[in-house]
Amino acid sequence: MSILDKIVAHKIKEVALQKELVSFHQLERSRLFDRPSNSLAEALKQSQSGIIAEHKRRSPSKSVINENVSIDTVAKGYEAAGVCGMSVLTDAHFFGGHLNDLLIAREHCNLPLLRKEFIIDEYQIIEAKANGADVILLIAAILEEQEIKQFSEIAKGLHLDVLLEVHNEQELAYSLMPNIDMLGVNNRNLKTFEVNTDISKTLSRHIPDEFVKVSESGIHSTETINDLRSYGFEGFLIGENFMKTNDPGKSATAFIKQLIS
């Protein structure tokens, strides 16, 4: 069983339990549920940097990344750095995140917030909206075509942006749908966790221009971003490069200054 298979198996049990604890009705009564959303796709189109900075405490491939810095500090630091949006990992078992991380980030910044999660149920989309997210992630590798269609329609009904993540041309072929705002290419193979930015370059030619192209994972330098821009990418999701430092916000600030200078 691959790491991705283990994550999905655990997520199915986790979501079933969460449904018993908090109902759809309770989520929809959240004080944040009717909050107007900030569009990450529009922010990326207008940005000089295109940086989506991530909060990630640990991962299955790297173990502990940074469990010392608080998410409110990270959120304020990223906003001060001038990033386009913030990705918040909410998976607890494998990544050390929590749904409350979204709430805390929402309270401390006005950035578009992406709920970085392994979504396998519409319940998680309602959760995202109720906890202050502006964007959801859909991962083609764990979803059927009909699920991508259904989940993206639900998200748009809630005025959430949708970032659809693919890893190969086969996934891309059945994922191009009207309710997708951004097409993300994950340079990390979710079965082996190996990283190669050539995946983004290879798939870029198959992504129609109406989708905002986002390259995810393995981005450690401004040179890589400038290279990927020549392939039409406007968004760049960066996590470990900032989070592995003592001050992710300061690291993001230095990176962006170098990028746009």
- 164-200 pLDDT, tens digit per residue, is 999 999 999 999 999 999 999 999 876 677 889 999 9
Quote the pLDDT of residue 67.
92
- Is pTM beyond 0.85? Reply is yes
Distances (CA, A) of 198 to 11, 116, 176, 184, 204: 30, 23, 21, 14, 10
DSSP string, 150-214: HHHHHHHHTT-EEEEEESSHHHHHTT--TT--EEEEESB-TTT--B-THHHHHHHTTS-TTSEEE
Distances (CA, A) of 38 to 65, 161, 237: 28, 8, 17
Residue 67 annotated as catalytic:
no
Residue 240 annotated as catalytic:
no
Q: Is 76 exposed, middle or buried (CB count within 10 Å of its CB: 0-12, 13-18, 19+)?
A: middle
Quote the pLDDT of residue 195.
87
Residue 165 annotated as catalytic:
yes
Residue 98: strand pairing partners: none
Residue 226 annotated as catalytic:
no
Q: Residue 156 sits in a domain of what CATH number?
A: 3.20.20.70
Residue 54 annotated as catalytic:
yes
Catalytic-role residue among 216, 234, 240, 251: 216
Query: How many domains does the chain fold into?
Result: 1
Among candidates 239, 240, 246, which has minimal Cα distance to 68? 246
Structure tokens belonging to residue 36? 């107007």
Residue 156 annotated as catalytic:
no
Phi, psi at 64, each rounded to 5°: -75, 130
Residue 42 annotated as catalytic:
no
Quote the pLDDT of residue 210.
94
Decide: helix, strand or coil at residue 144: coil
Quote the pLDDT of residue 248.
98
Catalytic-role residue among 217, 234, 240, 251: 217
**Pair 174, 166: CB distance under 8 Å:** no
The boundaries of the domain holding residue 206 are 3-260
Task: Give the distance from CA 28 to its chain's centroid.
Answer: 22
What is the distance in angstroms between the CA of the first residue and the CA of the last residue of the chain?
A: 46
Catalytic-role residue among 14, 79, 165, 171: 165
Strand 63-64 to 58-59 pairing: antiparallel
pLDDT < 70: residue spans in the chain: 190-191
Quote the pLDDT of residue 189.
76
Catalytic-role residue among 54, 79, 234, 240: 54
Catalytic-role residue among 116, 129, 201, 213: 116
Catalytic-role residue among 11, 47, 49, 56: 56
Determine the Cα–Cα distance for residues 146 and 143; give it in Å rounded to an integer.
Answer: 8
